[in-house]
Amino acid sequence: MSENESEPVRDEGFDDFLDAIEAGEGFYLECPEGHGSLPPRRVCPHCGATDLEETPLPETGEIETYTEVHVPAPSFADDAPYVTAVVDFGAVRLTGQLRGGETAEIEVGTEVSVGIGENETAGERVVVFRVA
């Protein structure tokens, strides 16, 4: 195996985004029309503008919808059951796992912060929400 093949491949843009969240400097991309999107992007998916600017992600968002997953994909086998949520941060939404709370207490509208955690099964980084 060559040296290149032994190195895990970074997904530039996406991994930069996870790094930024991990450092407490989460951002999204904003076009001149004010549309939000997430990297990697060269073009605003809403209007086609090409001058996208990194804009700070709000520190908290609201749960818009969620589910407790009992039958996971193999790469999340040891993580189940877990709660997957879509969280509204205003200009963008993010999908991740809700951790550290009693699922019975969660409801749509619950305010959460975003961070990066680890997938127990595969040890890979995953977007994580915690009740704010």
Partner 1 sequence: MTGVRVAGVGLTHFGKHPERTGRDLFAEASERALADAGVDRTDVAQLNYGNFMGELSEHQGHQGPLMAEAAGLTAPATRYESACASSGVAVREAVKDVRNGEVDVLLVGGTERMNNLGTAGTTEALAIAADDLYEVRAGMTFPAAYALMAQAYFEQYGGSKEDLAEIAVKNHDNALDNEYAQFQSAISVEDALDAPRIADPLGLYDACPITDGASAVVLVSDEYADEHDLDAPVSITGTGQGGDKMALQDRQFLARTPAAERAAEEAYDDAGIGPQDVSVAEVHDCFTIAEVLALEALDFYAPGEGIGAAARGETTRDGDRPVNLSGGLKAKGHPVGATGTSQVVEMTRLLRGDHPNSDAVPGDVGVTHNAGGTVASTTVHVLEVDR
Binding characters for partner 1, 2-41, by CB under 8 A (x = yes): ---------x--x----------------------xx---
Q: Which two tokens stand for residue 99?
A: 């951790």
Cα–Cα separations (whole angstroms), residue 54 to 20, 105, 111, 129:
11, 34, 23, 21
Answer yes or no: are the C-beta atoms of 76 and 107 closer than 8 Å. no
Of 82, 110, 112, 114, the residue at the interface with partner 1 (CB under 8 A) is 82
Supply the minimum distance, in Å, between the C-beta of residue 110 and partner 1. Answer: 12
DSSP characters over 30-86? E-TT--EE-SS-SS-TTT-----EEEEPPSEEEEEEEEEESS--GGGTTT-SEEEEE
Q: Which is nearer to partner 1, 2 or 38 (CB)?
A: 38
Q: Stretches 2-10, 26-34, 49-57, 68-76: which one binds partner 1 (CB under 8 A)?
A: 68-76
Query: Which 3 state secondary structure label does DSSP give 5?
Result: helix
Strand partners, 61: 112
Residue 78, interface with partner 1 (CB under 8 A)?
no
Residue 49, interface with partner 1 (CB under 8 A)?
no
> Which residues of the shown chain bind partner 1 in the complex (CB under 8 A)?
11, 14, 37-38, 45, 64-77, 79, 82, 84, 86, 92-97, 108, 119, 124-127
